[in-house]
Amino acid sequence: MNFVLPQFLPAVPEMFLLGMICFILVVDVFVSESHRLVTYWLSLASVAGAAWLTVAVAQQGSLLTFSGMFVNDAMGNVLKLFTYLIVAVVFIYSRDYLRDRSLFKGEYYILGLTALLGMLIMISAHNMLTVYLGLELHSLSLYAMVALDRESPVASEAAMKYFVLGAIASGVLLYGMSLLYGATGTLDLTTLGVHIASAPTASIASLFALGFVVTGLCFKLGAVPFHMWLPDVYEGSATSVTLFVGTAPKIAAFALFMRFLVAGLGGLHPQWQGMLIVISVLSMAIGSIVAIAQSNLKRMLAYSTIGHVGFILLGILTGTTAGYQAAMFYTLTYVVMAMAGFGLILLLARKGFESERLDDFKGLNERSPWFAAMMLMVMFGMAGVPPFVGFFAKLYVLRAVIDAGLTWLAVTAVAFTIISAFYYIRLVKLMYFDRAPSGARNVRAEFDVRWLLSGNGLAILVLGVLPGPLLALCARVIAF
């Protein structure tokens, strides 16, 4: 009986974050309502601390610890750093909105941090159990977050829907994992990968399991036909929660695809490529066509997310390194754009006014030319018009797709891009071509939010003019 102490170093950021969560949980109980900012600052500090630790312990190559349950590698670290950044910015954007709605409570931040912890574990998962652990920690936090506004029936409905569908998806994923365990006798993703790849033909059991795994993962990402929860959750939650749900989890979901589908089930690529082609085309179709009929901006952005997810899957399904790099670039830049988009909705919202209908953006150019320009960049960026970064993201994905010999798929994808351009430019039309309704107030925001949001918007332009460094980063960390 010898117990070897595991190496803790690769997981130090996660452990630090866990400690901080417990600490904040206690502190928050003793902090009076008027000093709630203490929780806010502590949350930001823990995110920053975790980021610092991630950089500090980062090493060349990949490190396995906890008996191969947990991996610390370059791709994971880059994705984690982006997740920290996004969660921190989400916290800052949400502050005033939550305060206006008497939701500025410790729960939002604590749930946000536990969700963050779940995402970090997902990103670093190297075993099916860790995958499931991270996924559940993350999902449960989000369900609770959606329901944060107890008074709102819409939010409760959204949370209920999310929870029920999410639970089914988790169950499906778990079932797939158990089948895989039965077929190969291992839970370790690398060993699984070796088993699957060395099998001369794909066994029926592993194919069966693959179907379940793809379903579970696509649910997480919100791809058609597993997208039903997404529009309701986006619309029903308080906008600050939508901001959270709509940004950082996409990065974690991308990591899950890479760890599970690419590394673990890479040997079944010919099989899952077909599945993902169908799913991604459907996602792009539903995402671009249904969004046209929406009058609620949050719902419209939900469908737009579905369309973008189709593009991310397009990169993954190529099964080439270039495709994975393109998908990573797409995910990261999409999250930056989505963050700016929801951030601007938060900026315009005031007490008793949600600013989530498309019409609320009428004549924004007259009220605030600067933020109208920021929203313009978000919209043209998402539509994929150069010189904004959304174009380059689409370009790299398309290149990988054509490189993989799927030119027809690239043509299909650009056809849906044209359709989606229609609803993006409709918002530009409302902001620039329509006059502001009388009584519309000027945009007011705190200093830090103003600067951060401007930086966020300009990042869409700057990353578009100089996409090289981020692209090189994606190329360096993805080496499959």
Binding site for another protein (CB under 8 A): 365, 369, 376, 380, 385-387, 391-392, 395-396, 398-399, 402-403, 407, 410-411, 414-415, 417-418, 421-422, 425-426, 428-429, 432-433, 467-468, 471-472, 475
203 vs 321, beta carbon nearer another protein: 321
State the Cα–Cα distance between residues 141 and 41, nearest whole angstrom: 20
State the Cα–Cα distance between residues 269 and 317, nearest whole angstrom: 8
Burial class of residue 30, CB neighbours in 10 A (0-12, 13-18, 19+): exposed
Smallest gap from residue 383 Cβ to another protein (A): 8
Smallest gap from residue 387 Cβ to another protein (A): 5
26 vs 414, beta carbon nearer another protein: 414
Smallest gap from residue 439 Cβ to another protein (A): 20
Cis peptide before 225 (omega within 30 of 0): yes
173 vs 398, beta carbon nearer another protein: 398
**DSSP structural state of residue 124:** H
Residue type (1 letter), 427:
L
Smallest gap from residue 382 Cβ to another protein (A): 13
The pair of structure tokens assigned to 9 is 């170093």
462 vs 475, beta carbon nearer another protein: 475
Smallest gap from residue 308 Cβ to another protein (A): 16
Smallest gap from residue 408 Cβ to another protein (A): 10
- CB distance 175 to 183 below 8 Å: no
Residues 6+ apart with CB under 8 A from 302: 230, 231, 233, 234, 235, 246
Smallest gap from residue 361 Cβ to another protein (A): 14
The pair of structure tokens assigned to 60 is 């060349």
17 vs 376, beta carbon nearer another protein: 376
* DSSP bridge partners of 71: 64
245 vs 463, beta carbon nearer another protein: 463
Q: How far is CA 330 from CA 82, 100, 230, 299, 336, in A?
A: 13, 34, 19, 21, 10
105 vs 426, beta carbon nearer another protein: 426
* DSSP bridge partners of 317: none
Query: At residue 293, what are phi and psi to the nearest 5 degrees?
Result: -85, 0
- CB distance 339 to 90 below 8 Å: yes
The pair of structure tokens assigned to 243 is 């901001």
State the Cα–Cα distance between residues 253 and 320, nearest whole angstrom: 19
Residue 271 host element (H or E) = helix 269-290
**For residue 309, which of 290, 294, 288 has the smallest C-alpha distance?**
288
Smallest gap from residue 376 Cβ to another protein (A): 8
Smallest gap from residue 14 Cβ to another protein (A): 31
The pair of structure tokens assigned to 265 is 């089930």
Smallest gap from residue 76 Cβ to another protein (A): 21
Name the E strands within 70-197: 70-72
24 vs 471, beta carbon nearer another protein: 471
41 vs 422, beta carbon nearer another protein: 422
15 vs 475, beta carbon nearer another protein: 475
229 vs 380, beta carbon nearer another protein: 380
Smallest gap from residue 248 Cβ to another protein (A): 26
* DSSP bridge partners of 410: none
Burial class of residue 150, CB neighbours in 10 A (0-12, 13-18, 19+): exposed
**For residue 53, which of 90, 22, 84 has the smallest C-alpha distance?**
84
